[in-house]
Amino acid sequence: MKTALALCLVLAAAPALAKPPPFAPWIAGTTASEPTTQTQRYDRDTYVIRQSIKTSFEAPFLYLLFGKDRVLLLDSGAGGTPIRPAVEAAIAQWLAEQHRTSIPLVVAHTHGHGDHHQGDAEFAGRADTTVVGLTAPEVATFFGISDWPRQIVAFDLGGRVLDVIPAPGHQPAHIILLDHRTRLLLTGDTLYPGRLYVPVNMFGDFRDSVDRVADFTRHKRVAWVLGAHIEMTTTPGKDLPDSKSHPDEHRLELPYSDLLALKASVDRMGDKVARDVQPDFIITPAPARPR
């Protein structure tokens, strides 16, 4: 009896097991040769594509989300290599499994910076394809946001609803998506394991956006935060240089607690952005940019 009681006490005191990582290691430029893109499947309807750092030091991540009625591609790459073949391969795999021959494609963007839309031209003229514009008015019009940036709207892919959260600050047309099905929060350049660049003249917008996203998602049981880049090492607070190789690269996925840490940091700053080194990201002031 004493042995059994002792075992129960040990198990009760043991820390909860961490969630297993959702992805295998990503291509990071550390081998002599690597494919120009890498695709991993989060689940049967969710693909993540990474562009090789050997084709662009940005090495962005793209997200392909399938519903019954349409599929959303979030971002189209930084250029330097065709991105459409990886997207078409994933679509073809999904269609074959669903015993279908086609599905409409929407190409949207986390925001309008060049490293997130260079592949748009590859989809021009593609059948049943809509490429969303890059400005805040174009984004708001497409998703039906009448009160930018305060209004959060639902975008239904067909049995799969995404919350579209306006998040200007890093860039004026930035959005963040929350997927109801997977509870993934796709945060673009607002939050990822790296240097979070905030133009000094847009800090108020950035702080308000972080507050908006945190307040909206606080009780949504977010599974993972997935951003658009990796710029951190596995050493807390240590970032990677802009280069063609990322040794000792941080994982893509971040815990939801990092969003709350970002909110706490920017709220402490008041009205002026300042550099702040956190274990999984670094807030970095950037020169003023057009709003």
Q: Which residue has the higher pLDDT, 3 or 225?
A: 225
pLDDT tier at 32 (50, 70, 90 boundaries)? confident
Kindly tell me if the per-residue pLDDT of 5 is higher than 70. Answer: no
Over range 200-206, report the average pLDDT: 98
pLDDT tier at 163 (50, 70, 90 boundaries)? very high
pLDDT tier at 44 (50, 70, 90 boundaries)? very high
The gap from C-alpha 93 to its chain's centroid, in whole angstroms, comes to: 23
Over range 165-181, report the average pLDDT: 98
The domains of the chain, with CATH numbers, are 29-286 (3.60.15.10)
**pLDDT tens per residue, range 97-144:** 999 999 999 999 999 999 999 999 999 999 999 999 999 999 999 999
Joined together, the tokens standing for residue 94 give 């999904």
Q: Which residues are CB-neighbours of 272 under 8 A, at least 6 positions away?
A: 200, 203
CB 86 within 8 Å of CB 61: no
* pLDDT recorded at residue 290: 87
Distance CA 286, CA 196 (A): 9
The gap from C-alpha 10 to its chain's centroid, in whole angstroms, comes to: 39
